[in-house]
Amino acid sequence: KAGVTQTPRYLIKTRGQQVTLSCSPISGHRSVSWYQQTPGQGLQFLFEYFSETQRNKGNFPGRFSGRQFSNSRSEMNVSTLELGDSALYLCASSLVGQGNGYTFGSGTRLTVV
Amino acid sequence: AQTVTQSQPEMSVQEAETVTLSCTYDTSESDYYLFWYKQPPSRQMILVIRQEAYKQQNATENRFSVNFQKAAKSFSLKISDSQLGDAAMYFCAYRAYGGSQGNLIFGKGTKLSVKP
């Protein structure tokens, strides 16, 4: 059974550019969440999607956005990149059900220069 | 707002020995879920163990067990017979029960080293 797949693994962008990250969840998982991981702030929740609808959103500026497609694949977009956006972006998927733990991908390492 | 605190930034254990990682959390909810995740250098977060707050019995997964003290809001992870492959960052996480509050709230993590 394939795990959560995130592409690309590494990305280098320049300040002011925009970037799109992709996440393919485990087959059958309809909930997809995104997290930002930095040494200073740790793991912070960005947003959660379920059946193509954003169900929950963290405390991030509007430059961070996402969407989910009918096949449950998800993308997140960051516009007008800032140096502080450099981070590991983790995607996680889950079966419907409150007690299920999330299965994470290996992340996309974004570096903004 | 809910918070999760891991007071040990780094821990070290001898191979085959037992180590306990601490986690405390703050919430006004009575129903919730708690998790321990492991993040090796490969970066992928791996679910180690989970606990439903309404269950009195402590969760156990092979060499991993938890000590869940609901009144004290404490959720420690015990690793028995430590192996070299256990070396990683360990994150404690909280998830509210029900509704749209499906996100995980993480602690800052504990870096575990295993000495041969």
- Any CB–CB contact under 8 A between A71 and chain B? no
The DSSP call for residue B41 is T
Please check the confidence at residue A97 and state whether its pLDDT lies above 70: no
Burial class (CB in 10 A: 0-12, 13-18, 19+), A73: middle
Say if residues A7 and A106 touch (Cβ distance below 8 Å).
Answer: no
pLDDT in tens, B54-76: 888 899 999 999 999 999 999 99
- Any CB–CB contact under 8 A between A15 and chain B? no
Q: Do A98 and B46 touch (CB under 8 A)?
A: no
Say if residues A52 and A40 touch (Cβ distance below 8 Å).
Answer: no
Q: Do B105 and A45 touch (CB under 8 A)?
A: yes
Please check the confidence at residue B78 and state whether its pLDDT lies above 90: yes
Block residue for tokens 């797949």 = A5
pLDDT score for B109:
97
Please check the confidence at residue B101 and state whether its pLDDT lies above 80: no
Angular region, B28: left φ>0, alpha ψ -120 to 50, beta rest: alpha
pLDDT in tens, A36-86: 999 999 999 999 999 899 988 999 999 999 999 999 999 999 999 999 999
Cβ neighbours of B42 in A, within 8 Å = 106
Q: Do A98 and B33 touch (CB under 8 A)?
A: yes
- Partner residue opposite B106 with nearest CB, options A31, A42, A99: A42
pLDDT in tens, B17-55: 999 999 999 999 888 999 999 999 888 899 999 999 988
- Partner residue opposite B98 with nearest CB, options A35, A92, A98: A98
Confidence of residue B103 (pLDDT cuts 50, 70, 90): confident
> How far does the CA of residue A43 sit from the closest CA of chain B (Å)?
6
Closest CA to A101 of B69, B100, B34: B34
